Structure 1
Amino acid sequence: MRRAGVADAAALAELRGIGPEQLAAYAGWVAGHAETHLPFVAEADGYVVGSAWLLVAERVPGNGSLDRRYGDVQSVMVREEWRNQGIGAALMAAILAEARARGLLHVTVHSGRRAIDFYLRNGFSHHRQLLLWEPAEP
């Protein structure tokens, strides 16, 4: 388990289904967002078998605090043949350790139904105050 970066762009892109024709643009995105989007990878014998991202964002100062940074977990992926071996949990442990080290207020995740139990097992809980707006389709 380790922090990843631009040097890992090809492996990160492949996990996200981004083809070689878009790799340069994707690597540019990774580099351009290095301060806010922190990738982590799990490796086995030098091969990237999983990844997860921590978005570090900031709320408007208030409530007596100027530092209101929080995190959001994004794009957690483990290759199918490597699932159910603790890799996802190790990725989450690395992300949450980073969140603690940075003093983030909280960490959110927007999960698909199939992954809810995974996040609950890894310390997340349902939160009643999250509301969502989506634009109406044309």
Structure 2
Amino acid sequence: MYTFDDLRRIIARLRSEDGCPWDREQTFESLKKCLAEEAGEVFEAVDNKDMDNLCEELGDVLLQVMLNSQIAEEQGAFTISQVIDGLCRKMVRRHPHVFGNMKVNSVEEGVALWNQIKMQEKAKKP
């Protein structure tokens, strides 16, 4: 079974000089349509309750994340590790009722807390 590290190496090779011409020519802009299409296919798989197809389509969305992250790394903007770190930090920060000492008693309270933290974060950004 392949691992996440294998996936990183595969994507880097696809984008390398001896890789795939299509993958090498992709940009953030050219991948926008692909990401939108793949997200739509995820929605369709969910609507159809087709777990095999959902697994495949989530892989296709992950491919889009990986390609965009590889392009960013090539440009010196950020890495997939930074994407993962940022997501982990956000999940921990926005779930103090799970990772901290706050309590929520309902889904609605959890969503309200998430939105409150999100608004505070956005207010702090320049």
Report the TM-score when normalising by structure 2. 0.25
The structure carrying a bigger strand percent of its residues is: 1
The structure carrying a bigger helix percent of its residues is: 2
Structure of higher RCO (CA pairs closer than 8 Å, 6+ residues apart): 1
Q: Which has the larger radius of gyration?
A: 2
Report the TM-score when normalising by structure 1. 0.24
